[in-house]
């Protein structure tokens, strides 16, 4: 995803950017791991009967993918000090073998004197934000990755 360097980060730097694919199989696996077997995440009939366009991804799966971008960049899950987001719109997952592309990018919004860096995450499907107010505060390791 990125290479490791020791140069200074600056506000506006995009430190990580990756596209994750979510398929219906991923939804079933996530349901088993999370215990969230709500049928809107696997049954098209139920999803559409409650007004959804189709089966949707678990919100926490989407948020987890954004968090994964951070932990992959940092190399240490414990380096994420704070993380939060709001769910803006559902991620509709088609019934095919390809799934839906979720693009996640993280940009620096503040570099603090205490060694922490504030990041804004952009999480989109088809150029529409699916998470808003997605922000993280992270402790940088000595060999942190470079902006991509």
| Residue 119 CB contacts under 8 Å (≥ 6 apart), including other chains | 15, 70, 106, 107, 108, 109, 135, 136, 137, 138
Nearest-5° Cα angle at 103, 69 to 63? 55
Residue 1: inside a domain: no
For residue 54, tell me if it sits in a domain. Answer: no
Q: What is the pLDDT of residue 141?
A: 78
- Residue 46's pLDDT is 98
Assigned domain for 78 exists: yes
Q: Which domain holds residue 92?
A: 13-21+59-139
Please name the residue ranges forming H helices in 3-126.
24-34, 44-49, 59-74
Integer Cα distance of 28 and 127 in angstroms? 26
CATH code of 88's domain: 3.10.129.10
pLDDT of residue 146 exceeding 60:
no
Q: Would you say 63 and 85 are in contact if contact means Cβ atoms under 8 Å apart?
A: yes
Q: Contact, 68 vs 105, CB < 8 A? A: no
> 148 pLDDT band (50/70/90 cuts)?
low
Residue 123 placed within a domain: yes
Give me the DSSP letters along 57-68. Answer: --HHHHHHHHHH
Answer whether residue 1 shows pLDDT above 90: no
Query: What are 44-94's pLDDT values in tens digits?
Result: 999 999 999 999 999 999 999 999 999 999 999 999 999 999 999 999 999
pLDDT at 147: 54
Can you give the pLDDT at residue 7? 52
Residue 36: is it exposed, middle or buried by C-beta count within 10 angstroms (0-12/13-18/19+)?
middle
Any domain includes 108: yes
Contact call for residues 120 and 106 (beta carbons, < 8 A): yes
For the cut 60, the answer to whether the pLDDT of residue 144 exceeds it is: no
Q: What is the pLDDT of residues 2-53, one digit of tens each?
A: 443 335 899 999 999 999 999 999 999 999 999 999 999 999 999 999 999 9
Question: Is pLDDT at 142 greater than 80 in this prediction?
Answer: no
The tally of domains found in the chain comes to: 1
Instruction: Quickly state the pLDDT bin for 109 (edges 50, 70, 90).
Output: very high
């Amino acid at each position: 995803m990125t290479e490791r360097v020791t140069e200074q980060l600056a506000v506006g730097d995009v430190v990580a950017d990756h596209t994750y694919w979510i398929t219906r199989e991923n939804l079933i696996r996530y349901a088993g791991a999370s215990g969230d077997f709500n049928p809107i995440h696997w049954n098209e009939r139920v999803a559409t009967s409650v007004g959804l366009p189709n089966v949707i991804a678990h919100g926490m799966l989407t948020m987890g993918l954004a968090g994964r971008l951070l932990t992959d960049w940092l190399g240490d899950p414990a380096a994420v000090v704070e993380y939060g987001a709001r769910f803006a719109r559902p991620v509709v997952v088609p019934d095919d073998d390809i799934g839906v592309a979720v693009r996640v990018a993280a940009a620096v919004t503040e570099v603090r004197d205490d060694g922490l860096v504030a990041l804004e995450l952009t999480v989109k499907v088809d150029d529409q934000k699916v998470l808003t107010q997605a922000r993280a505060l992270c402790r940088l390791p000595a060999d942190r990755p470079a902006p991509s």
